[in-house]
Amino acid sequence: MSKPVNMPTKVQLALAAPHSEAVAQLVDHSHERPRTPTIVPSAAPEPEVSRLDRYVHYLIARMTAGLSPAACANAFFDWGMHMAASPGLQLELMGEGVRQWMRFAAFFQEASGAAGTPVSPNIVPQPHDHRFASEGWKQFPFNVFAEGFLLSEEWWHSATTQVKGVEKQNLNRIDFMTRQALDVIAPTNFVATNPDVLARTQLEGGLNLIRGYFNYLDDLKRLREREAPDGAEKFKVGETVAITPGKVVFRNHLIELIQYAPVTEKVHAEPILIVPAWIMKYYILDLRPENSLVKFLTAQGFTVFIVSWRNPDAGDRNIGFDDYRRLGVMAAIDAVNRITGNAKIHAVGYCLGGTLLTTAACAMANENDDRLATLTLLAAQADFREAGELTLFIDESQVSLLEDMMAEQGFLDSAQMAGAFQLLRSNDLIWSHVVNDYLLGQRRPIFDLLAWNADATRMPYRMHSEYLRSLFLNNDLAEGRFKVDGQAVALTDLRVPIFAVGTETDHVAPWRSVYKFNILSDTSVTFLLTSGGHNAGIVSPPGAPHRSYRMATKHENDKFVDPETWHASTPPSEGSWWTAWAEWLGAKSTDLVDPPTMGAPDKGLKPLCAAPGTYVLQK
């Protein structure tokens, strides 16, 4: 699962050593208060030269909002050198520029003489670009402003994507940075060139700009003091959101395991265990009762468990990826087994939680551990070669800079993560906010998903570094190099049925990347593509308008179908994908049985407190 990037304020130069063994001792089956992990010091002190370099890199990161200037410079150099060596392309772009100007001049002449009659534009925005949708943009001179901007955008896209020989990531990075620069100067962002802002200013005598100024000051204050956005107080965890009845039945240093109360007389023998990403609060899947996936599943007769991650602090800097697997996924599986009498589990992973769960499932397959009945992956990836625009921020230079930046505080701050995600959808998350809140002077009503999005978490230094390097940079999991307890694990070892969900407009886990489970695994894969994005596409309750999905199953012996052919040959179905998934889970379940007890007091799993627990409330 926003605030702009906020950089650290002081420097602490330290590099601690791995201590997975120490963290492993933190499992707590009782009512003891979770302990902070003991940091094992490095075997040798860090050289002064390295400390100096780390300090300089940290200062650079503060000035560049965490982006690597070396990576950006390399991209521009690569693009510039190949552009300089391509006179034919330069001539082609010059010709395209002349044609653009001729089109613009013709449109200007027609629009200026139309006497208020709308003129058909030469170019229209992309389907996802709604900046020029209002009627005011069809009138002169604002239609000319929009036309000129869109033609410029089109020319720059050609200039940044058609240069042969440039590394693909550099080409994508140049295109992305150019779009960001153009978005800054879009005519929608200025009072004098935005017809909607001008009309509102004239109607209110400028009061909208005064309100916008105070909105800006309020946002600045909330950003500085780390307060939630205006209106988020209406969505209080445990009171208005995350209110499905349940109990925390297990707690260790990294997780609280919540078991939800049954609502049906009989339940499926196989429980559901949900593992959300460690960078999100779990209650995105338990928002209000009308859009709670947890509530929906319990109503379908499933016993539901969900992992609530602890919000790490500086003392957790050395907690790594394998600690999250053992103290998170495996500890939760063990607890669920004891509560349900060793029933097999429908395991569900969301986003990076799906990646973590997949890793755990591969390790279980390696050890002939057959406690999983099925594996459901929601907007989750195992192959990161095509992981969308997020990979623009990830290369060796960028990861190294992030590591040095995190050394000051021991974790990656939620505001720093939010900044990167905001840039991926700057029109929706940054500039639309500027126009609505500051120029029009109207606060957009906040809803539950936005309030949840502002309630972000941190990531431990070591964990963040390990998964960026192993998964994003090296793609170790998909290529069979990722090791668990010294043993390489492979997706081809999975034998349980997989249900993979992709969302059509996902910028974090593009659906074609999620679709790769069809080719990475040797088991039955049911792939479902739903409308919406990374979060809104998953939170898709029955009855919500404008929802649809496509679904098909590839069995073990079926031939592979590429994603474009699959999309063209798989008809859409109207409605929520939740119902289709619940039917699939039901078909993969066995008997209906009496609901298990809440926790297992006789096995050391006495309920500790009511849901939503305590970890989700940590700031």
Higher-pLDDT residue of 495, 430:
495
CATH of the domain at 358: 3.40.50.1820
Q: Which of 141, 148, 227, 154 is nearest to 192 (CA)?
A: 141
The pLDDT-based confidence of 195 (bands split at 50, 70, 90) is very high
Residue 24 pLDDT greater than 50, yes or no: no
**Domain shared by 390 and 521, yes or no:** yes
Q: Is 238 left (phi over 0), alpha (psi -120 to 50) or beta?
A: left
- What is the maximal distance between C-alpha atoms in the chain? 85
**Domain shared by 80 and 190, yes or no:** yes
Tell me what the mean pLDDT of segment 359-383 comes to. 97
CA triple 310-449-420, angle to 5 deg: 70
In a domain, 216, yes or no: no
Residues in the chain, how many?
619
The pLDDT-based confidence of 115 (bands split at 50, 70, 90) is low
Percent of the chain with pLDDT strictly greater than 70: 89
**Domain shared by 487 and 597, yes or no:** yes
Burial 83-115 (b: 16+ CB within 10 A, else e): beebeebeeebeeeeeebeeebeebbebbeeee
The pLDDT-based confidence of 420 (bands split at 50, 70, 90) is low
Percent of the chain with pLDDT strictly greater than 90: 69
Q: Which residues pair with 267 in a beta bridge?
A: 593
Phi, psi angle pair for 75, to nearest 5°: -65, -45
Higher-pLDDT residue of 125, 267:
267
**Domain shared by 463 and 519, yes or no:** yes
**Domain shared by 476 and 531, yes or no:** yes
The answer to whether 488 and 481 are in contact (CB under 8 A) is yes
Q: Which helix (H) or strand (E) holds 149?
A: helix 142-161
pLDDT tens-digit map of 391-418: 777 888 888 888 887 776 677 776 666 5
**Domain shared by 150 and 257, yes or no:** no
Give the least confident one: 76-90, 440-454, 489-503.
440-454
The answer to whether 318 and 40 are in contact (CB under 8 A) is yes
Task: Give the separation between CA 328 and CA 307, rounded to whole angstroms.
Answer: 8
Give the mean pLDDT of the chain. 88
Phi, psi angle pair for 89, to nearest 5°: -65, -40
Q: Of the candidates 204, 219, 254, which is a domain's last residue?
A: 204
**Domain shared by 382 and 287, yes or no:** yes
Task: Give the separation between CA 453 and CA 22, rounded to whole angstroms.
Answer: 33
- The tokens describing 113, both together, are 């003489």
In a domain, 427, yes or no: no
Residue 19 pLDDT greater than 70, yes or no: no
Task: Give the separation between CA 367 and CA 281, rounded to whole angstroms.
Answer: 31
- The tokens describing 595, both together, are 């609901």
The domain in which residue 509 lies consists of 246-397+457-617
Residue 263 pLDDT greater than 50, yes or no: yes
- The tokens describing 111, both together, are 């629009």
> Rg of the chain's alpha carbons, rounded to an integer?
26
In a domain, 500, yes or no: yes
Predicted confidence at residue 229, as pLDDT, reads 85
Tell me what the mean pLDDT of segment 522-536 comes to. 96
Q: Quick check: bond before 595 cis, omega within 30?
A: no
Give the Cβ contact number of residue 521 at 10 Å.
24
Which residue in the block uniquely carries the two structure tokens 């260790």? 252
The answer to whether 215 and 443 are in contact (CB under 8 A) is yes
Give the least confident one: 3-17, 283-297, 375-389.
3-17
Find the catalytic residue in 72, 351, 362, 609.
Answer: 351
**Domain shared by 274 and 371, yes or no:** yes
Residue 1 pLDDT greater than 90, yes or no: no
The answer to whether 293 and 247 are in contact (CB under 8 A) is no
In a domain, 303, yes or no: yes
**Domain shared by 478 and 607, yes or no:** yes
Give the least confident one: 144-148, 151-155, 222-226, 241-245.
222-226
In a domain, 512, yes or no: yes
Residue 559 pLDDT greater than 50, yes or no: yes
Residue 352 pLDDT greater than 90, yes or no: yes
Q: What is the pTM of this model?
A: 0.87
Name residue 508's amino acid.
V
In a domain, 417, yes or no: no
Number of H helices, E strands in the chain: 22, 17
Q: Of the candidates 177, 204, 231, which is a domain's last residue?
A: 204
Residue 555 pLDDT greater than 80, yes or no: yes
Distances in Å between the alpha carbon of 236 and those of 71, 452, 455, 549, 612? 41, 10, 11, 31, 11
**Domain shared by 268 and 371, yes or no:** yes
Predicted confidence at residue 54, as pLDDT, reads 78
The answer to whether 1 and 287 are in contact (CB under 8 A) is no
In a domain, 25, yes or no: no
**Domain shared by 328 and 391, yes or no:** yes
Q: Is 250 left (phi over 0), alpha (psi -120 to 50) or beta?
A: beta
Predicted confidence at residue 69, as pLDDT, reads 87
The pLDDT-based confidence of 363 (bands split at 50, 70, 90) is very high
Distances in Å between the alpha carbon of 447 and those of 230, 452, 562? 11, 9, 37
Looking at the structure of the chain, the number of domains it has is: 2
State the DSSP code for 525: E
Predicted confidence at residue 414, as pLDDT, reads 63
Name residue 260's amino acid.
Y
Task: Give the separation between CA 449 and CA 232, rounded to whole angstroms.
Answer: 10
pLDDT tens-digit map of 39-95: 344 445 566 667 788 778 878 877 776 778 888 899 999 999 999 999 999 999 999
Predicted confidence at residue 122, as pLDDT, reads 86
- The tokens describing 197, both together, are 């802002």
Q: Of the candidates 204, 220, 254, which is a domain's last residue?
A: 204
Residue 20 pLDDT greater than 90, yes or no: no
Q: In what order do the strands lie in the sheet with 255-260?
A: 573-574, 548-554, 525-530, 498-503, 372-378, 345-350, 272-275, 304-309, 255-260, 246-251, 609-610
The answer to whether 297 and 346 are in contact (CB under 8 A) is no
In a domain, 27, yes or no: no
Give the Cβ contact number of residue 78 at 10 Å.
19
Predicted confidence at residue 416, as pLDDT, reads 61
Active site residue 351: yes
Residue 15 pLDDT greater than 70, yes or no: no
Helix (H, G, I), strand (E, B) or coil at 86: coil
Task: Give the separation between CA 80 and CA 89, rounded to whole angstroms.
Answer: 12
Residue 22 pLDDT greater than 60, yes or no: no
**Domain shared by 192 and 327, yes or no:** no
Which residue in the block uniquely carries the two structure tokens 């500890």? 331
